[in-house]
């Protein structure tokens, strides 16, 4: 793989840590920026326990923050087979053309090619066209009006399996700056920001830019192979605008730091990479898998949540912060009773 040297901990089991179940956050903190923040110096591995509202203490004029503005689709639909009334569930994965989506369907026997599924008393119908890769279904929707507005009315948030409490307000699983619908899961590092904190960041002389990467379920698929190089990442669509590319180039030129908010922003920036010392606007699909040994081209800092053991995301953090530093930080976070995963606390690596 380009930019990667395979001379690091390369087994899935190297990335295991023990996490008490009560540390898995079931609800977001209120207000958003009152979550805790573990700050790491990636050169020394030193750690400081702070709160997210202290973020500006660690930013400098001339830095830039790059955030992912993808918006989570209320992508879980509960309905019935039109002919029998039997219950069926769809989870939207990717658009595949005009009114066509690739979906997860359950139970599969109720979503065979030719079946018609109906939702919300007929406001939305779906015809199953075919079975595709990994048993997913390709369906074609029929409806009146705007599809995304309809989803907001009748869809449910596809919360991760480890969150067992119902979500009172769907907007708490969206960032305050989300604007481009398309994700199957939230870019959770951004959940801690409030409009007021973002304004403080800008007033400090730190530029704030956006990329779009639509988070797919493949990002969260468990690594099954013991050798992590055997793991296959799924593709996700991204867009890096001319405005954001120019911001990154300005930041680099003046000696500032490019700090990615979340692994999705990191993966977008690193997928595009630098050519002759500059980053260029780009749009496409990425299946980049970042693990220790990877040589970062763009990133100078990473703001991220705490990730599942043996996940591709903890491997990415280990690539940036160093394997030993990362595992030590996770050990510290467990001992200090930080809150973990999507609604949990954050870590800043500089």
Q: What is the average pLDDT score of the chain?
A: 94
In percent, the amount of the chain with pLDDT more than 90 equals: 87
pLDDT at position 184? 87
pLDDT at position 5? 43
- CA 116 to each of CA 89, 124, 125, 132, 149: distance values in angstroms, whole numbers, following the listed order: 13, 11, 7, 17, 22
pLDDT at position 13? 97
Give the pLDDT confidence of 168-182 residue by residue, as tens digits: 888 999 999 999 999
Give the pLDDT confidence of 171-225 residue by residue, as tens digits: 999 999 999 999 989 999 999 999 999 999 999 999 999 999 999 877 667 899 9
Supply the DSSP symbol for 223: P
Supply the DSSP symbol for 317: H
**How far is Cα 199 from Cα 205, in angstroms, rounded to an integer?**
10
Give the pLDDT confidence of 15-26 residue by residue, as tens digits: 999 999 999 999
pLDDT at position 3? 47
pLDDT under 50 in the chain at which residues? 1-6
pTM (global) more than 0.95: no
CB 334 within 8 A of CB 241: no
pLDDT at position 95? 87
């Amino acid at each position: 793989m380009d930019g990667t040297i395979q001379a690091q901990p390369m087994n899935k089991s190297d990335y295991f840590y023990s996490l008490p179940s009560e540390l898995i956050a079931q609800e977001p903190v209120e207000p958003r920026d009152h979550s805790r923040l573990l700050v790491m110096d990636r050169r020394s591995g030193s750690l400081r326990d702070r709160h997210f509202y202290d973020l500006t203490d660690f930013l400098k004029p001339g830095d830039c923050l790059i955030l992912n503005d993808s918006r989570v689709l209320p992508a879980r639909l509960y309905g019935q087979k039109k002919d029998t009334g039997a219950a069926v569930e769809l989870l939207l994965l990717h658009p595949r053309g005009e009114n066509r989506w690739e979906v997860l369907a359950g139970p599969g026997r109720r979503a065979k090619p030719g079946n018609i599924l109906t939702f919300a008393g007929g406001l939305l119908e779906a015809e199953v066209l075919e079975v595709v890769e990994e048993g997913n279904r390709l369906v074609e929707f029929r409806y009146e009006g705007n599809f995304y507005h309809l989803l907001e009315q009748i869809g449910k948030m596809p919360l991760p399996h480890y969150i067992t409490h119902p979500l009172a307000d769907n907007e708490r699983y969206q960032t305050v700056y989300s604007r481009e619908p398309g994700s199957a899961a939230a870019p959770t590092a951004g959940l801690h920001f409030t409009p007021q904190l973002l304004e403080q960041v800008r007033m400090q002389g730190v530029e704030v830019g956006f990329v779009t990467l639509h988070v797919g379920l493949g990002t969260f698929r468990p690594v099954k192979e013991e050798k992590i190089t055997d793991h296959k990442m799924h593709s996700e669509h991204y867009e890096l605008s001319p405005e954001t590319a120019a911001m990154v180039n300005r930041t680099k030129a003046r000696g500032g730091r490019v700090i990615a908010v979340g692994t999705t922003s990191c993966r977008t920036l690193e997928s595009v990479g630098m050519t002759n010392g500059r980053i260029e606007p780009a749009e496409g699909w990425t299946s980049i898998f970042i693990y220790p040994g990877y040589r970062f081209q763009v990133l100078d800092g990473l703001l991220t949540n705490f990730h599942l053991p043996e996940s591709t995301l903890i491997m990415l953090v280990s690539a940036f912060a160093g394997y030993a530093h990362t595992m030590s930080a996770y050990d510290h976070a467990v001992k200090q009773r930080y809150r973990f995963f999507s609604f949990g606390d954050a870590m800043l690596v500089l």
